[in-house]
Amino acid sequence: MSIDTVVYFQVTDPRAATYEIANYIQAVEQLTTTTLRNVVGGLNLEEALTSRDQINGQLRGVLDEATGRWGIRVSRVELKAIDPPHSIQDSMEKQMRAERDRRAAILTAEGTKQSAILTAEGQRQASILAAEGDAKAAILRADGEAQAIQKVFDAIHKGNPDQKLLAYQYLQTLPKLAEGSSNKLWIIPSEVGEALKGIGAALGGSNPDPRSGGGLFDEEPAKQPGS
């Protein structure tokens, strides 16, 4: 690794700096290099790249203790740059790209999941609203039909119709009972027979009761043999 380091120090004892060491500047530089190798050598690559404050503190402690007898005080140590070899840099870049891709895939999947949840929730709400609307529409249609039937019923009773009019209305309704190909069986109310008797009586001008022998429903008596 290539590490660029800056050491700030000052001479506190000029005599010791002059006589205790031949060249204190060169000595501080060599001591810094040796100490830095020892400190960084005990760390892995990730720790070396992320533990600058720890490295600075250890360097300053070791340098300040070693240079004290030279009349020098180390006030500060800074790591300006830590550059791994190119092969390591390529591997780190690949790792960072893979990590970014992984995070992007997670975010994309999370977004897709939230979108699916919101879409399903929206469809569920729409289905609920549509069902509620259909129910209300059916209720309103039923209420309208009930009111229409009630009005027709009231109008008929207010008009006090006679038997002939009711019979005519029954005849108008009979064709509608047979409409549709699915109508295989249909039932005529008993009142229709009575109404038809009324029509027969009206057309024939006689008593609608078949027992009276007159009207539309009269039958010719069967003749006895030899009569």
The ranges assigned to domains in the chain are: 2-84, 86-159, 161-212
pLDDT in tens, 126-184: 899 899 988 888 888 888 888 877 777 777 777 666 666 666 666 666 666 666 565 56
What's the CATH superfamily of 2-84? Answer: Band 7 domain (3.30.479.30)
Confidence of residue 215 (pLDDT cuts 50, 70, 90): very low
Highest mean pLDDT among 18-27, 46-55, 176-185: 18-27
42-64: average pLDDT:
81
- Residue type (1 letter), 33: T
How many CB atoms are located within 10 Å of the residue 59 CB?
24
pLDDT averaged over the chain? 77
What pLDDT sits at residue 222?
Answer: 44
Residue 22: C-alpha distances to residues 29, 64, 72, 147 (Å): 13, 18, 13, 119
pTM above 0.75, yes or no: no
Higher pLDDT, 78 or 160: 78
Q: Does 210 score more than 90 pLDDT?
A: no
Nearest alpha carbon to residue 72 among 8, 6, 11? 11
Task: Specify the range with the lowest mean pLDDT, choosing from 23-27, 29-33, 46-50, 155-159.
Answer: 155-159
pLDDT in tens, 79-95: 888 887 777 777 778 88
36 Cβ contact partners less than 8 Å away, ≥ 6 residues apart: 3, 5, 55, 59
55 Cβ contact partners less than 8 Å away, ≥ 6 residues apart: 36, 39, 40, 43, 48, 79
Please state, in angstroms and rounded to a whole number, the distance separating the CA atoms of residues 193 and 217: 11
Residue 209: C-alpha distances to residues 108, 178, 182 (Å): 88, 28, 36
